[in-house]
Amino acid sequence: MILPRGTHDILPEEAAKWHVIEKVFMDLCRTYQYGEIRTPIFEHTELFERGVGDTTDIVTKEMYTFEDKGGRSITLRPEGTASVVRAYVEHKLFGQVNQPVKLYYKGPMFRYERPQGGRQRQFNQMGLEAIGSFDPAIDTEVISLAMNFFQMLGLPNIELVINSLGDKESRQKHREALIAHFEPNIDEFCADCHTRLYKNPLRILDCKKDHDHPLIQTAPSILDFLNEESKSYFEQVKRYLEAIGISYRVDPTLVRGLDYYNHTCFEIMSVEEGFGGQMTLCGGGRYHGLVEEFGGPEAPGIGFGMGAERILIALEKAQIALPVDNMLDCYLITAQPEAELKAVELMAAFRKQRIVAEKDYMGRKLKAQLKDANRKNARFTVIIGETEINQRAYQLKDMEGGEQVEVAEEMLVHELLDRLKREERN
Protein backbone atom coordinates (compact mmCIF):
# COMPACT_ATOMS: atom_id res chain seq x y z
CA MET A 1 0.00 0.00 0.00
CA ILE A 2 1.26 3.49 -0.75
CA LEU A 3 -0.07 6.88 0.10
CA PRO A 4 -2.21 8.87 -2.36
CA ARG A 5 -0.46 11.09 -4.89
CA GLY A 6 0.20 14.60 -3.62
CA THR A 7 0.17 13.63 0.05
CA HIS A 8 3.04 12.84 2.38
CA ASP A 9 3.81 11.40 5.77
CA ILE A 10 5.65 13.57 8.22
CA LEU A 11 8.01 11.40 10.24
CA PRO A 12 9.27 12.44 13.71
CA GLU A 13 12.54 14.04 12.56
CA GLU A 14 10.62 16.17 10.08
CA ALA A 15 7.76 16.79 12.53
CA ALA A 16 10.27 18.35 14.93
CA LYS A 17 10.90 21.05 12.30
CA TRP A 18 7.16 21.59 11.96
CA HIS A 19 6.97 22.21 15.69
CA VAL A 20 9.62 24.92 15.38
CA ILE A 21 7.94 26.85 12.56
CA GLU A 22 4.49 26.48 14.09
CA LYS A 23 5.77 27.75 17.42
CA VAL A 24 7.43 30.77 15.80
CA PHE A 25 4.15 31.51 14.02
CA MET A 26 1.98 31.02 17.09
CA ASP A 27 4.27 33.13 19.30
CA LEU A 28 4.19 35.91 16.71
CA CYS A 29 0.40 35.73 16.54
CA ARG A 30 0.32 36.11 20.28
CA THR A 31 2.63 39.14 20.06
CA TYR A 32 0.34 40.69 17.46
CA GLN A 33 -2.76 39.73 19.45
CA TYR A 34 -4.32 37.16 17.12
CA GLY A 35 -6.28 34.35 18.74
CA GLU A 36 -6.48 30.83 17.36
CA ILE A 37 -9.54 29.57 15.53
CA ARG A 38 -10.04 25.93 14.54
CA THR A 39 -12.67 25.34 11.90
CA PRO A 40 -13.74 21.98 10.39
CA ILE A 41 -11.66 20.32 7.69
CA PHE A 42 -14.80 19.98 5.56
CA GLU A 43 -17.58 22.45 4.85
CA HIS A 44 -20.63 22.70 2.62
CA THR A 45 -19.42 22.97 -0.98
CA GLU A 46 -21.42 26.14 -1.47
CA LEU A 47 -19.23 27.98 1.01
CA PHE A 48 -16.23 27.79 -1.31
CA GLU A 49 -18.24 28.25 -4.49
CA ARG A 50 -19.57 31.51 -3.15
CA GLY A 51 -16.52 32.49 -1.14
CA VAL A 52 -13.51 31.61 -3.29
CA GLY A 53 -15.42 32.20 -6.54
CA ASP A 54 -16.85 29.92 -9.20
CA THR A 55 -14.50 31.11 -11.94
CA THR A 56 -11.35 30.24 -10.02
CA ASP A 57 -9.26 27.16 -10.75
CA ILE A 58 -9.64 26.19 -7.12
CA VAL A 59 -13.43 25.89 -7.39
CA THR A 60 -13.74 24.67 -10.97
CA LYS A 61 -10.94 22.12 -10.98
CA GLU A 62 -9.28 21.55 -7.69
CA MET A 63 -11.83 20.85 -5.00
CA TYR A 64 -12.21 17.52 -3.24
CA THR A 65 -15.98 17.39 -3.32
CA PHE A 66 -18.17 14.44 -2.43
CA GLU A 67 -21.68 13.65 -1.39
CA ASP A 68 -21.99 12.44 2.18
CA LYS A 69 -24.34 9.68 3.27
CA GLY A 70 -27.05 12.24 3.90
CA GLY A 71 -26.87 13.48 0.30
CA ARG A 72 -25.13 16.79 1.14
CA SER A 73 -22.38 18.16 -1.06
CA ILE A 74 -19.30 18.42 1.10
CA THR A 75 -15.85 19.77 0.23
CA LEU A 76 -12.49 19.35 1.94
CA ARG A 77 -11.38 22.92 2.55
CA PRO A 78 -9.05 24.22 -0.17
CA GLU A 79 -8.15 27.29 1.93
CA GLY A 80 -8.95 28.89 5.27
CA THR A 81 -10.48 32.32 4.67
CA ALA A 82 -14.00 31.24 3.66
CA SER A 83 -14.33 29.05 6.78
CA VAL A 84 -13.05 31.78 9.09
CA VAL A 85 -15.48 34.31 7.62
CA ARG A 86 -18.31 31.79 7.91
CA ALA A 87 -17.44 31.27 11.58
CA TYR A 88 -17.20 35.04 12.08
CA VAL A 89 -20.76 35.41 10.80
CA GLU A 90 -22.13 32.24 12.42
CA HIS A 91 -20.85 33.22 15.88
CA LYS A 92 -21.74 36.87 15.34
CA LEU A 93 -18.20 37.93 16.13
CA PHE A 94 -19.03 41.26 14.48
CA GLY A 95 -21.05 42.01 17.63
CA GLN A 96 -18.03 41.70 19.93
CA VAL A 97 -16.68 44.84 21.55
CA ASN A 98 -13.18 43.87 20.60
CA GLN A 99 -12.80 44.89 16.96
CA PRO A 100 -11.26 44.11 14.56
CA VAL A 101 -11.55 40.39 15.18
CA LYS A 102 -8.05 38.94 14.75
CA LEU A 103 -7.84 35.20 14.20
CA TYR A 104 -5.13 32.78 13.15
CA TYR A 105 -5.23 29.16 12.08
CA LYS A 106 -3.05 26.34 10.90
CA GLY A 107 -3.85 23.02 9.38
CA PRO A 108 -4.29 20.94 6.26
CA MET A 109 -5.94 22.22 3.07
CA PHE A 110 -6.79 20.18 -0.02
CA ARG A 111 -6.48 21.00 -3.70
CA TYR A 112 -6.49 18.60 -6.60
CA GLU A 113 -3.43 20.05 -8.32
CA ARG A 114 -0.62 18.45 -10.28
CA PRO A 115 1.85 17.51 -7.55
CA GLN A 116 5.41 18.80 -7.89
CA GLY A 117 8.07 20.30 -5.62
CA GLY A 118 6.22 22.54 -3.16
CA ARG A 119 2.80 21.65 -4.52
CA GLN A 120 0.79 18.93 -2.85
CA ARG A 121 -2.81 17.85 -2.86
CA GLN A 122 -2.89 17.90 0.91
CA PHE A 123 -0.76 20.76 2.17
CA ASN A 124 -0.65 22.82 5.33
CA GLN A 125 -1.27 26.49 5.71
CA MET A 126 -0.58 28.82 8.56
CA GLY A 127 -2.79 31.83 8.11
CA LEU A 128 -4.62 34.67 9.74
CA GLU A 129 -7.51 37.05 9.19
CA ALA A 130 -8.27 40.48 10.66
CA ILE A 131 -11.93 41.27 10.11
CA GLY A 132 -13.79 44.51 10.72
CA SER A 133 -11.31 47.26 9.94
CA PHE A 134 -10.49 49.29 6.84
CA ASP A 135 -7.35 50.95 8.09
CA PRO A 136 -4.08 50.81 6.14
CA ALA A 137 -2.26 50.22 9.43
CA ILE A 138 -3.88 46.79 9.70
CA ASP A 139 -2.75 45.91 6.17
CA THR A 140 0.74 46.83 7.32
CA GLU A 141 0.35 44.79 10.50
CA VAL A 142 -0.70 41.68 8.56
CA ILE A 143 2.16 42.03 6.07
CA SER A 144 4.71 42.80 8.77
CA LEU A 145 3.72 39.74 10.79
CA ALA A 146 4.45 37.54 7.78
CA MET A 147 7.72 39.34 7.06
CA ASN A 148 8.75 39.06 10.71
CA PHE A 149 8.02 35.37 10.60
CA PHE A 150 10.44 34.82 7.73
CA GLN A 151 13.02 37.01 9.39
CA MET A 152 12.76 35.07 12.64
CA LEU A 153 13.35 31.84 10.79
CA GLY A 154 16.44 33.45 9.27
CA LEU A 155 15.21 32.91 5.72
CA PRO A 156 17.26 35.03 3.31
CA ASN A 157 16.25 36.22 -0.17
CA ILE A 158 12.65 36.96 0.60
CA GLU A 159 10.74 39.37 -1.60
CA LEU A 160 7.48 41.12 -0.83
CA VAL A 161 5.35 41.96 -3.85
CA ILE A 162 2.27 44.12 -3.45
CA ASN A 163 -0.53 45.44 -5.61
CA SER A 164 -3.92 47.02 -5.24
CA LEU A 165 -7.00 45.63 -6.91
CA GLY A 166 -8.98 48.71 -5.92
CA ASP A 167 -12.59 48.98 -4.91
CA LYS A 168 -15.69 47.85 -6.79
CA GLU A 169 -15.84 50.96 -8.96
CA SER A 170 -12.18 50.79 -9.95
CA ARG A 171 -12.46 47.09 -10.67
CA GLN A 172 -15.51 47.59 -12.85
CA LYS A 173 -13.64 50.06 -15.05
CA HIS A 174 -10.63 47.77 -15.20
CA ARG A 175 -12.90 44.86 -16.10
CA GLU A 176 -14.31 46.71 -19.08
CA ALA A 177 -10.81 47.58 -20.25
CA LEU A 178 -9.72 43.95 -19.91
CA ILE A 179 -12.67 42.72 -21.97
CA ALA A 180 -11.89 45.26 -24.68
CA HIS A 181 -8.22 44.19 -24.60
CA PHE A 182 -8.75 40.45 -24.88
CA GLU A 183 -12.00 40.21 -26.86
CA PRO A 184 -10.59 40.63 -30.40
CA ASN A 185 -8.02 37.83 -29.87
CA ILE A 186 -9.79 35.57 -27.40
CA ASP A 187 -9.61 32.70 -29.92
CA GLU A 188 -5.89 32.47 -29.19
CA PHE A 189 -6.65 31.62 -25.57
CA CYS A 190 -7.72 28.39 -23.88
CA ALA A 191 -11.34 27.33 -23.45
CA ASP A 192 -11.32 28.39 -19.79
CA CYS A 193 -10.27 31.90 -20.75
CA HIS A 194 -13.21 32.09 -23.16
CA THR A 195 -15.52 31.56 -20.18
CA ARG A 196 -13.47 33.93 -18.04
CA LEU A 197 -13.67 36.78 -20.56
CA TYR A 198 -17.18 37.87 -19.60
CA LYS A 199 -17.50 36.19 -16.23
CA ASN A 200 -14.26 37.38 -14.69
CA PRO A 201 -11.60 38.66 -17.13
CA LEU A 202 -9.11 39.26 -14.28
CA ARG A 203 -8.73 35.48 -14.07
CA ILE A 204 -7.21 35.45 -17.58
CA LEU A 205 -4.19 37.18 -16.07
CA ASP A 206 -3.35 34.21 -13.89
CA CYS A 207 -4.27 31.47 -16.34
CA LYS A 208 -1.84 28.59 -15.91
CA LYS A 209 -2.01 27.70 -19.64
CA ASP A 210 -1.84 31.11 -21.28
CA HIS A 211 0.51 32.91 -18.94
CA ASP A 212 3.10 33.48 -21.70
CA HIS A 213 0.68 34.99 -24.21
CA PRO A 214 1.96 38.47 -25.19
CA LEU A 215 -1.48 40.02 -24.62
CA ILE A 216 -1.14 39.18 -20.92
CA GLN A 217 1.99 41.31 -20.69
CA THR A 218 0.30 44.25 -22.41
CA ALA A 219 -3.02 43.96 -20.53
CA PRO A 220 -4.31 47.17 -18.95
CA SER A 221 -2.94 47.62 -15.44
CA ILE A 222 -5.37 47.90 -12.55
CA LEU A 223 -3.23 50.67 -11.10
CA ASP A 224 -4.31 52.94 -13.98
CA PHE A 225 -7.93 52.40 -13.02
CA LEU A 226 -7.81 53.03 -9.29
CA ASN A 227 -10.11 55.83 -8.23
CA GLU A 228 -8.89 58.48 -5.79
CA GLU A 229 -9.97 56.62 -2.65
CA SER A 230 -8.36 53.34 -3.72
CA LYS A 231 -5.22 55.12 -4.83
CA SER A 232 -4.85 57.01 -1.60
CA TYR A 233 -5.48 53.87 0.47
CA PHE A 234 -2.73 52.04 -1.42
CA GLU A 235 -0.39 55.01 -0.99
CA GLN A 236 -0.95 54.93 2.76
CA VAL A 237 -0.25 51.21 2.98
CA LYS A 238 3.02 51.79 1.14
CA ARG A 239 3.90 54.71 3.39
CA TYR A 240 3.32 52.64 6.52
CA LEU A 241 5.40 49.79 5.15
CA GLU A 242 8.24 52.20 4.45
CA ALA A 243 7.90 53.71 7.91
CA ILE A 244 8.61 50.34 9.53
CA GLY A 245 11.40 49.46 7.13
CA ILE A 246 9.68 46.81 5.04
CA SER A 247 10.82 46.89 1.44
CA TYR A 248 8.46 45.85 -1.30
CA ARG A 249 8.06 45.78 -5.06
CA VAL A 250 4.79 46.87 -6.68
CA ASP A 251 3.67 44.41 -9.33
CA PRO A 252 0.54 45.58 -11.16
CA THR A 253 0.06 42.10 -12.63
CA LEU A 254 -0.34 40.47 -9.23
CA VAL A 255 -4.01 39.45 -9.15
CA ARG A 256 -4.06 36.33 -6.89
CA GLY A 257 -6.01 33.19 -7.71
CA LEU A 258 -9.07 33.74 -5.53
CA ASP A 259 -12.02 35.96 -6.36
CA TYR A 260 -12.62 37.66 -3.05
CA TYR A 261 -9.77 40.15 -3.20
CA ASN A 262 -9.91 43.91 -3.52
CA HIS A 263 -7.59 46.75 -2.51
CA THR A 264 -4.29 45.50 -1.10
CA CYS A 265 -3.02 42.12 -2.21
CA PHE A 266 0.44 40.70 -1.71
CA GLU A 267 2.69 37.72 -2.06
CA ILE A 268 5.94 36.87 -0.37
CA MET A 269 8.35 34.82 -2.43
CA SER A 270 11.51 33.00 -1.78
CA VAL A 271 13.93 33.96 -4.51
CA GLU A 272 16.59 31.58 -3.28
CA GLU A 273 18.95 30.51 -6.02
CA GLY A 274 18.63 26.87 -6.91
CA PHE A 275 14.86 26.93 -6.74
CA GLY A 276 14.73 27.14 -10.50
CA GLY A 277 12.73 30.33 -10.23
CA GLN A 278 10.81 31.60 -7.28
CA MET A 279 8.34 30.07 -4.95
CA THR A 280 5.41 31.83 -3.34
CA LEU A 281 5.55 31.17 0.38
CA CYS A 282 2.74 33.46 1.42
CA GLY A 283 -0.22 35.08 -0.29
CA GLY A 284 -2.95 37.30 0.97
CA GLY A 285 -4.91 40.47 0.72
CA ARG A 286 -8.06 42.38 1.46
CA TYR A 287 -11.53 41.10 0.92
CA HIS A 288 -14.56 43.33 1.25
CA GLY A 289 -17.98 41.85 0.72
CA LEU A 290 -17.22 38.31 1.83
CA VAL A 291 -18.80 38.79 5.26
CA GLU A 292 -21.93 40.18 3.59
CA GLU A 293 -21.91 37.34 1.09
CA PHE A 294 -22.21 34.95 4.02
CA GLY A 295 -25.07 36.85 5.60
CA GLY A 296 -23.16 39.18 7.94
CA PRO A 297 -22.93 42.97 8.07
CA GLU A 298 -20.50 45.02 6.01
CA ALA A 299 -17.11 44.13 7.49
CA PRO A 300 -13.88 44.37 5.52
CA GLY A 301 -11.21 41.75 6.11
CA ILE A 302 -7.58 41.13 5.34
CA GLY A 303 -5.37 38.11 5.84
CA PHE A 304 -2.84 35.71 4.41
CA GLY A 305 -2.05 32.05 4.10
CA MET A 306 1.41 30.56 3.95
CA GLY A 307 2.40 27.11 2.88
CA ALA A 308 4.25 25.26 5.62
CA GLU A 309 5.75 22.68 3.26
CA ARG A 310 7.12 25.44 1.04
CA ILE A 311 8.65 27.22 4.01
CA LEU A 312 10.45 24.04 5.01
CA ILE A 313 11.69 23.53 1.45
CA ALA A 314 12.96 27.12 1.36
CA LEU A 315 14.76 26.65 4.69
CA GLU A 316 16.39 23.50 3.43
CA LYS A 317 17.51 25.12 0.18
CA ALA A 318 18.98 27.99 2.16
CA GLN A 319 20.69 25.40 4.40
CA ILE A 320 19.18 26.80 7.54
CA ALA A 321 19.11 24.31 10.37
CA LEU A 322 16.15 24.83 12.67
CA PRO A 323 16.79 24.65 16.40
CA VAL A 324 14.97 21.37 16.87
CA ASP A 325 14.77 19.93 20.38
CA ASN A 326 16.17 16.42 20.10
CA MET A 327 17.93 16.37 23.46
CA LEU A 328 17.88 13.31 25.64
CA ASP A 329 18.72 14.20 29.25
CA CYS A 330 19.49 10.77 30.60
CA TYR A 331 19.81 7.21 29.31
CA LEU A 332 19.54 4.43 31.86
CA ILE A 333 21.94 1.60 31.22
CA THR A 334 21.33 -1.81 32.72
CA ALA A 335 24.40 -3.95 33.39
CA GLN A 336 22.41 -7.12 34.19
CA PRO A 337 18.90 -8.32 33.44
CA GLU A 338 18.21 -8.03 37.21
CA ALA A 339 18.63 -4.27 36.91
CA GLU A 340 15.63 -3.87 34.61
CA LEU A 341 13.11 -3.30 37.38
CA LYS A 342 15.23 -0.57 38.99
CA ALA A 343 15.73 1.09 35.59
CA VAL A 344 11.99 1.21 35.04
CA GLU A 345 11.48 2.68 38.52
CA LEU A 346 14.18 5.32 38.14
CA MET A 347 13.03 6.27 34.68
CA ALA A 348 9.47 6.80 35.93
CA ALA A 349 10.81 9.06 38.71
CA PHE A 350 12.92 11.03 36.19
CA ARG A 351 10.05 11.53 33.79
CA LYS A 352 7.78 12.73 36.58
CA GLN A 353 10.22 15.61 36.93
CA ARG A 354 10.23 16.13 33.16
CA ILE A 355 13.74 14.79 32.78
CA VAL A 356 13.83 13.43 29.23
CA ALA A 357 14.76 9.83 29.87
CA GLU A 358 15.18 6.65 27.85
CA LYS A 359 16.32 3.07 28.31
CA ASP A 360 16.93 0.04 26.17
CA TYR A 361 14.01 -2.18 25.19
CA MET A 362 15.83 -4.45 22.77
CA GLY A 363 17.85 -6.61 25.21
CA ARG A 364 21.10 -4.92 24.10
CA LYS A 365 24.38 -5.73 25.80
CA LEU A 366 26.06 -3.04 27.91
CA LYS A 367 28.33 -1.82 25.11
CA ALA A 368 25.46 -1.64 22.63
CA GLN A 369 23.40 0.32 25.16
CA LEU A 370 26.20 2.88 25.46
CA LYS A 371 26.31 3.14 21.70
CA ASP A 372 22.54 3.61 21.65
CA ALA A 373 22.83 6.37 24.29
CA ASN A 374 25.42 8.13 22.13
CA ARG A 375 23.34 7.77 19.01
CA LYS A 376 20.39 9.31 20.83
CA ASN A 377 22.47 12.23 22.00
CA ALA A 378 22.14 11.43 25.69
CA ARG A 379 23.59 14.13 27.91
CA PHE A 380 23.99 11.80 30.91
CA THR A 381 23.86 8.09 31.55
CA VAL A 382 23.13 6.20 34.74
CA ILE A 383 24.61 2.72 34.96
CA ILE A 384 22.58 0.24 36.97
CA GLY A 385 24.12 -3.04 38.12
CA GLU A 386 23.69 -5.39 41.04
CA THR A 387 26.29 -3.62 43.19
CA GLU A 388 24.69 -0.25 42.53
CA ILE A 389 21.27 -1.55 43.48
CA ASN A 390 22.62 -3.07 46.70
CA GLN A 391 24.50 0.09 47.62
CA ARG A 392 21.63 2.32 46.48
CA ALA A 393 24.14 4.52 44.65
CA TYR A 394 24.75 4.93 40.90
CA GLN A 395 27.38 6.14 38.48
CA LEU A 396 26.14 9.27 36.75
CA LYS A 397 28.19 9.82 33.63
CA ASP A 398 28.52 13.11 31.83
CA MET A 399 28.56 12.07 28.17
CA GLU A 400 30.10 15.32 26.99
CA GLY A 401 32.95 15.73 29.45
CA GLY A 402 33.24 12.02 30.21
CA GLU A 403 33.46 12.53 34.00
CA GLN A 404 31.62 10.12 36.26
CA VAL A 405 30.30 10.67 39.78
CA GLU A 406 28.62 8.42 42.29
CA VAL A 407 25.21 9.66 43.37
CA ALA A 408 22.98 8.18 46.07
CA GLU A 409 19.65 6.93 44.75
CA GLU A 410 17.56 9.47 46.65
CA MET A 411 19.73 12.28 45.28
CA LEU A 412 19.67 11.17 41.64
CA VAL A 413 16.68 13.24 40.46
CA HIS A 414 17.92 16.28 42.35
CA GLU A 415 21.45 15.95 41.02
CA LEU A 416 20.27 15.53 37.43
CA LEU A 417 17.88 18.46 37.64
CA ASP A 418 20.60 20.58 39.15
CA ARG A 419 23.10 19.76 36.43
CA LEU A 420 20.55 20.25 33.65
CA LYS A 421 19.40 23.53 35.15
CA ARG A 422 22.92 24.76 35.28
CA GLU A 423 23.04 24.22 31.54
CA GLU A 424 19.61 25.79 31.14
CA ARG A 425 18.41 22.78 29.34
CA ASN A 426 15.59 21.84 31.62
282 binds ligand HAM (CB under 6 A): yes
Stretch that binds ligand HAM, among 118-126, 170-178, 396-404, 412-420 (CB under 6 A): 118-126
Among the listed residues 39, 75, 125, 164, the single contact to ligand HAM using CB under 6 A: 125
Nearest to ligand HAM of 189, 304 (CB atom): 304
* Binding footprint of ligand HAM, residue count (CB under 6 A): 27
Alpha-carbon gap, residue 134 to 139, rounded angstroms:
8
312 binds ligand HAM (CB under 6 A): no
Alpha-carbon gap, residue 62 to 76, rounded angstroms:
10
129 binds ligand HAM (CB under 6 A): yes
DSSP string, 84-130: HHHHHHHTTGGGSSS-SEEEEEEEEEE-----BTTB-SEEEEEEEEE
51 binds ligand HAM (CB under 6 A): no
Which residues, numbered 342-361, are part of the site for ligand HAM (CB under 6 A)?
none
Stretch that binds ligand HAM, among 111-119, 175-183, 194-202, 226-234 (CB under 6 A): 111-119
x-or-dash pattern for ligand HAM, window 81-110, by CB under 6 A?
x-----------------------------
Alpha-carbon gap, residue 184 to 165, rounded angstroms:
24
166 binds ligand HAM (CB under 6 A): no
Local structure of residue 321 (DSSP, 8 states): P
283 binds ligand HAM (CB under 6 A): yes
Task: For 150, list phi and psi in degrees, rounded to 5.
Answer: -65, -35
257 binds ligand HAM (CB under 6 A): yes
| Residue nearest ligand HAM, Cβ-based | 307
Nearest to ligand HAM of 284, 385 (CB atom): 284
Supply the minimum distance, in Å, between the C-beta of residue 403 and ligand HAM.
Answer: 49
248 binds ligand HAM (CB under 6 A): no
Nearest to ligand HAM of 140, 381 (CB atom): 140
Q: Do 416 and 381 contact (CB within 8 A), yes or no?
A: no
Local structure of residue 322 (DSSP, 8 states): P
Alpha-carbon gap, residue 389 to 88, rounded angstroms:
62
201 binds ligand HAM (CB under 6 A): no
Supply the minimum distance, in Å, between the C-beta of residue 84 and ligand HAM.
Answer: 8
Stretch that binds ligand HAM, among 100-108, 116-124, 378-386, 396-404 (CB under 6 A): 116-124
First-last CA distance in the chain: 41
280 binds ligand HAM (CB under 6 A): yes
Stretch that binds ligand HAM, among 15-23, 64-72, 121-129, 399-407 (CB under 6 A): 121-129
Alpha-carbon gap, residue 6 to 118, rounded angstroms:
10
Supply the minimum distance, in Å, between the C-beta of residue 295 and ligand HAM.
Answer: 19
189 binds ligand HAM (CB under 6 A): no
Whole-Å CA distances, 32 to 9, 140, 224, 277: 32, 12, 34, 32
Give me the long-range contacts of 197-200 (CB less than 8 A, separation at least 24).
Answer: 199/55, 200/53, 200/55, 200/259
Q: What's the angle, vertex CA 18, arms to CA 360 and CA 126, rounded to 5?
A: 155
Q: Do 300 and 121 contact (CB within 8 A), yes or no?
A: no
Q: Which helix (H) or strand (E) holds 368?
A: helix 366-375
- In 3-state terms the chain splits into helix, strand, coil percentages (rounded to 5) of 45, 25, 35
Alpha-carbon Rg for the chain, nearest whole angstrom, is 28
Give me the long-range contacts of 187-192 (CB less than 8 A, separation at least 24).
Answer: 188/213, 188/215, 189/213, 192/60
Among the listed residues 85, 305, 332, 333, the single contact to ligand HAM using CB under 6 A: 305
Among the listed residues 123, 225, 240, 380, the single contact to ligand HAM using CB under 6 A: 123
Stretch that binds ligand HAM, among 32-40, 208-216, 217-225, 277-285 (CB under 6 A): 277-285
Residues of the shown chain interacting with ligand HAM in the complex, contacts defined by CB under 6 A: 79-81, 111, 113, 118-120, 123, 125, 127, 129, 257-258, 280-285, 303-307, 309-310
